[in-house]
Amino acid sequence: MPESWVNSAERTGSDLHLELSASGSRRAAVSAALRDAVRSGRLTPGTRLPPYRSLAADLGLARNTVADAYAELVAEGWLTARQGSGTRVAGRAAVPAGTARTTKAAHATAAAAAAAGPAGPGRTAGEAGPPVRHDLRQGSPDASSFPRTAWLASARRALNAAPHSAYGPGDPRGRVELRTALAAYLARARGVHTSPEHIVICSGFAHALRLLFGDRVLRGPLAVESYGLGFHRSLLEAAGTPTVPLALDEDGARTEELADRPGVRAVLLTPAHQFPTGGPLHARRRAAVVDWARARGALVLEDDYDGEFRYDREPVGAVQGLDPDHVVYCGSVSKSLSPAVRLGWMVLPPHLVGAVLAAKGEREAWASVLDQLTLADFIASGAYDRHVRRMRQRYRRRRDRLVTALAAHAPHLVPTGIAAGLHAVLRLPPGTEASAVRAAGRRGIALDGLAAFRHPAATMPAPDGLVVGYATPPDHAYGPALEALSAALRPAGGR
């Protein structure tokens, strides 16, 4: 049976896994194992091998044995050796014909995918169509605006200050530093009433839903707004949780309909800024849904996905502040910082904390401790507030540019839901949504029609509209994106 070795490279070199045959000489076994690693593509051209002394020590062989194997492969053309550059896999090292064909095919597929661009609205990946040049889909902040310098400074401070225990097994709730910072921030900025003991760190809102419903901490059916993310509905359905839609109007979800759903014990809402139609949940309905939860022993799930970004109105506090015992408040940094920072949080009623921690289970489901420590410092130092204020001003300017462009080139369209958030809804004449999405696609614009977010069981009227995200493009690309959008939406015969 072949022996497997992994070198530790304690002083120099890189880790290298080799399988040595038990038969024949040790030098021949090393040579054969290295040839196989190159042939299979595991060691690619240019890869630097560990010094023969290090590899010999890791394999438990004499130095000369590994040195002779290296010399043999250099002579055969598999490796190159230069003073100061070490021993590397040769650029002309052979690759099996099948591998080469597979690689070429993969490159061709990747090139085709790159040319086609990401799947646009109404178009699946790989389907023919113009490349996406302007990304106006909702859901992502401007990636170029990530506060790299401030984040790095927080990371350095946090890692230097962290106790040794932070680098071992910890609390499944999440790091106490982050939970403490969040408790103070959410109380100040969002009107949330909690303590660090009732906050559980997760990887985002989807992870929160999996924890709550995937392990039956909560059971369906779950009432949801008639418009929302289909991804969340699919996740819930996969967990065996049916969803029941509530109608929407200008005051948000019609929470009075909950009285007609006796089997429902939980409702999911976006009360600060209904997604995607926009607008806050009316104060009367906020109070009514809390009264319903108290009377029925039910729960309100509050998705505060972009509550920090408001422009033309006073901040709308969290529903959780009305009754912390009947509201699960969820938030994340996906909109405020970046979806690449996989950190979110649940503010739980005390009686749910133990069940959620049991559902969270093994450490593999925990968010990165290093990111938690960094975010804790980022919030506590005031850098998070400064970043949110800066981005709020930037996104407000972008929203204003969108409104101005529409007024000049498509005055028949009125943007709605623009007092807060990172997207607008453009209401369209009945029956024109699909053609408007296609017209945008022909100009390389990626955006979504309102119908894409409609619950399949919704019975309320289905207005036509476009959901236009104004946060994603970097500053230099936003102007051209608006020009393309204006051209796509300009009335027939308009200039």
Structural domain boundaries in the chain = 3-89, 116-145+386-489, 148-381
Q: Looking at residues 91-119, what average pLDDT do you find?
A: 41
- Asked if residue 342 lies in contact with residue 204, where contact means CB atoms within 8 angstroms, the answer is yes
**How far is residue 244's CA from residue 224's CA, in Å, rounded to a whole number?**
6
Report percent pLDDT > 70 for the chain: 87
**How far is residue 279's CA from residue 424's CA, in Å, rounded to a whole number?**
11
Give the pLDDT of residue 7: 44
Give the pLDDT of residue 126: 37
Give the pLDDT of residue 488: 94
Give the pLDDT of residue 179: 97
Q: Which residues contact 396 (CB under 8 A, 6 or more apart)?
A: 311
Please name the fold of domain 116-145+386-489. Answer: Aspartate Aminotransferase, domain 1 (3.90.1150)
Question: How far from the centroid of its chain's Cα atoms is residue 345's Cα?
Answer: 14
Residue with more model confidence, 346 or 108: 346
Give the pLDDT of residue 123: 37
User: pLDDT tens, 271-317?
Assistant: 999 999 998 999 999 999 999 999 999 999 999 999 889 998 777 88
Q: Hey, what CATH class is 148-381 in?
A: alpha beta
Please give the single-letter amino acid code of residue 453. F
Residue 68 has pLDDT above 50, yes or no: yes
Residue 128 has pLDDT above 70, yes or no: no
**Mean pLDDT taken over the chain:** 86
Among 128-132, 160-164, 293-297, 400-404, which stretch is predicted with the lowest mean pLDDT? 128-132
The pTM of this model reads 0.78
Q: DSSP letters of 130-166?
A: PPP-EE--SS---GGG--HHHHHHHHHHHHHHS-GGG
Residue with more model confidence, 59 or 338: 338
Please, which pLDDT band fits residue 119 given cuts at 50, 70 and 90? very low
Q: Which CATH number among 3.30.70.260, 1.10.260.40, 1.10.10.10, 3.40.50.300 corresponds to the domain 3-89?
A: 1.10.10.10
Report percent pLDDT > 90 for the chain: 66
- Asked if residue 191 lies in contact with residue 324, where contact means CB atoms within 8 angstroms, the answer is no
User: Up-side HSE of residue 131: CA atoms within 13 Å toward CB?
Assistant: 8
Q: Looking at residues 206-212, what average pLDDT do you find?
A: 94
Please, which pLDDT band fits residue 92 given cuts at 50, 70 and 90? low
Question: How far from the centroid of its chain's Cα atoms is residue 1's Cα?
Answer: 44
Residue 56 has pLDDT above 90, yes or no: no
User: pLDDT tens, 321-377?
Assistant: 999 999 999 999 999 999 999 999 999 999 999 999 999 886 656 789 999 999 999
Length of the chain as a residue count:
495
